[in-house]
């Protein structure tokens, strides 16, 4: 199928939408027939609330050229890279005309990224990993060592966060046998979680810090993002932060048993015992993370576990997202939904037609949105998910 007939997809957070995101979407719009954004909801992979709510970020995506914005459900949006990629790829693959998955990468070499993904899925990788000594190294370090045995110096791309996420995207496409090609684009601007050098595009993390501190971001973000931040600040809905939920989170954790912690996603190696003990000692979230931190566990993983406990995200969940929740669309994007292989939720009434497992997932999302409403400078009422219609452009 010619490229002009294919839609491209991007799995994203836009937390917030910055110049690098805008550049990627512009390149996608020039090359393919349209753009589908698989957007994380009100809580994101860092284990935190998004600084702007999902409806505001949907409007930004549409303003930047998206034709369809689909929500990545909570259990995948707040998961590690592998599950995050698997959920997003499945949603992209459920739409008939999506043939490309685009992403920014420090190494925009589709061949190298695909080679790494294939190697990680191979029996040879499992064998190489099993041969490494158990010396207390992190899994990430051991994984790179094993991959180096198979593909040599190219394994170094796992040290680059966006390229490593691209590998997970490719793994998901291969595992699910989706007819979607990976399309890496050069990542521009400051590195992930790094401050920008003079003249560089700021990273999302640096922008969030500036917005939270009340600093002026004029000229540092696209005009649509600046306008959205100013409007949401005036309404008391930005910046959303875990700081507003600190005591509710700590109280929730203190009410949990070791058995409760063991039911959280991504729990292993007795980490539930560490969580239980730390939650009964900590008097702040930063204190809690400090008690939990070791060389084996990344800060992001610990934040996600704490957030999962607070939001009630269970370990048991569908293997892949069971429906398409539409947040926003253009007329062109609406046409894509006609051939979707998953049930489509455009309005709350559509949920009643879903199977019970999918209805339970939607209810979890609704509860999380109601808690997000308390993570804003001015607490908001419950029920926005039920009130908010699809955003059209």
Angle, in degrees to the nearest 10, between helices 246-254 and 299-311 = 80
pLDDT band of residue 366 (cuts 50, 70, 90) is very high
For residue 11, give the H/E element and its range: strand 7-12
Task: Could you list the beta-strand ranges (E) of 235-330.
Answer: 324-329
Task: Could you list the beta-strand ranges (E) of 249-341.
Answer: 324-329
**Looking at domain 3-106+160-239+319-392, which of 3.40.50.620, 3.30.470.20, 3.40.50.300, 3.40.50.2000 is its CATH number?**
3.40.50.620
How many whole angstroms separate alpha carbon 370 and alpha carbon 368? 5
Distance of CA 387 to the CA centre of its chain: 24
**Each residue of 213-250: pLDDT tens digit?**
999 999 999 999 999 999 999 999 999 999 999 999 99
Residues 6+ apart with CB under 8 A from 279: 250, 253, 254, 256, 288
Q: How much is the average pLDDT of 324-352?
A: 96
Own/partner contacts of 227-235, CB < 8 Å, gap of 24 or more, are 228/16, 228/52, 228/56, 228/59, 228/60, 229/16, 229/52, 232/52, 232/53, 232/56, 233/377, 235/378
For residue 120, give the H/E element and its range: helix 110-120
Phi, psi (deg, nearest 5) at residue 238: -145, 140
Q: How much is the average pLDDT of 94-115?
A: 96
Distance of CA 122 to the CA centre of its chain: 26
Question: Which two structure tokens, joined as six digits, stand for 113?
Answer: 């990224």
pLDDT at 1: 42
Name the residue among 205, 211, 176, 210 with its Cα closest to residue 192: 205
| 393-241-17 Cα angle (round to 5) | 35
**Each residue of 175-187: pLDDT tens digit?**
999 999 999 999 8
How many whole angstroms separate alpha carbon 231 and alpha carbon 220? 17
User: What are the structural domain ranges in the chain?
Assistant: 3-106+160-239+319-392, 242-311
Q: Are strands 48-49 and 344-345 parallel, antiparallel or unpaired?
A: unpaired
How many whole angstroms separate alpha carbon 127 and alpha carbon 232? 52
Phi, psi (deg, nearest 5) at residue 94: -80, -5
Neighbours of 266 (CB within 10 A): 17
pLDDT at 104: 96
Name the residue among 336, 294, 381 with its Cα closest to residue 92: 336
pLDDT band of residue 197 (cuts 50, 70, 90) is very low
pLDDT at 134: 78
């Amino acid at each position: 199928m010619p490229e002009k007939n294919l839609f491209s997809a991007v799995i994203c957070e836009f937390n917030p939408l910055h110049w690098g995101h805008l550049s990627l979407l512009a390149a996608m719009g020039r090359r393919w027939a349209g753009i589908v954004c698989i957007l994380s909801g009100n809580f994101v992979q860092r284990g935190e609330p998004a600084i702007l709510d999902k409806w505001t970020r949907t409007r930004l995506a549409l303003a930047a050229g998206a034709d369809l914005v689909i929500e990545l459900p909570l259990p995948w949006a707040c998961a590690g890279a592998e599950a995050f990629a698997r959920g997003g790829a499945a949603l992209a693959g459920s739409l008939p005309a999506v043939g490309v998955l685009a992403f920014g990468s420090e190494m925009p070499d589709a061949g190298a990224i695909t080679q790494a993904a294939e190697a990680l899925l191979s029996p040879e990788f499992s064998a190489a990993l099993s041969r490494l000594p158990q010396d207390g190294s992190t899994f990430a370090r051991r994984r790179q060592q094993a991959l180096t045995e198979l593909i040599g110096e190219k394994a170094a791309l796992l040290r680059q966060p966006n390229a490593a996420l691209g590998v997970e995207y490719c793994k998901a496409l291969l595992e699910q046998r989706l007819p979607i090609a990976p399309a890496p684009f050069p990542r521009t601007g400051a590195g992930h979680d790094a401050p920008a050098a003079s003249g560089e595009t700021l990273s999302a993390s640096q922008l969030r810090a500036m917005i939270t501190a009340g600093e002026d971001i004029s000229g540092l973000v696209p005009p649509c993002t600046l306008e959205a931040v100013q409007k949401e600040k005036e309404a008391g809905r930005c910046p959303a932060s875990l700081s507003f939920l600190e005591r509710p989170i700590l109280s929730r954790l203190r009410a949990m048993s070791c058995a409760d912690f063991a039911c959280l996603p991504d729990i292993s190696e007795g980490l539930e015992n560490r969580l239980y003990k730390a939650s009964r000692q900590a008097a702040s979230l930063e204190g809690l993370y400090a008690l939990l931190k070791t060389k084996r566990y990344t800060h992001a993983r610990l934040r996600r576990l704490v957030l999962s406990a607070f939001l009630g995200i269970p370990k048991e969940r569908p293997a892949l997202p069971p429906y398409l929740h539409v947040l926003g669309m253009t007329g062109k994007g609406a046409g894509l939904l006609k051939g979707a292989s998953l049930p489509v939720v455009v309005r709350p009434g559509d949920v009643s037609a879903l199977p019970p497992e999918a209805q339970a997932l939607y209810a979890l999302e609704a509860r999380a949105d109601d808690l997000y409403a308390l993570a804003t400078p001015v607490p908001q009422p419950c029920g926005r998910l039920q009130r908010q219609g699809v955003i059209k452009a």
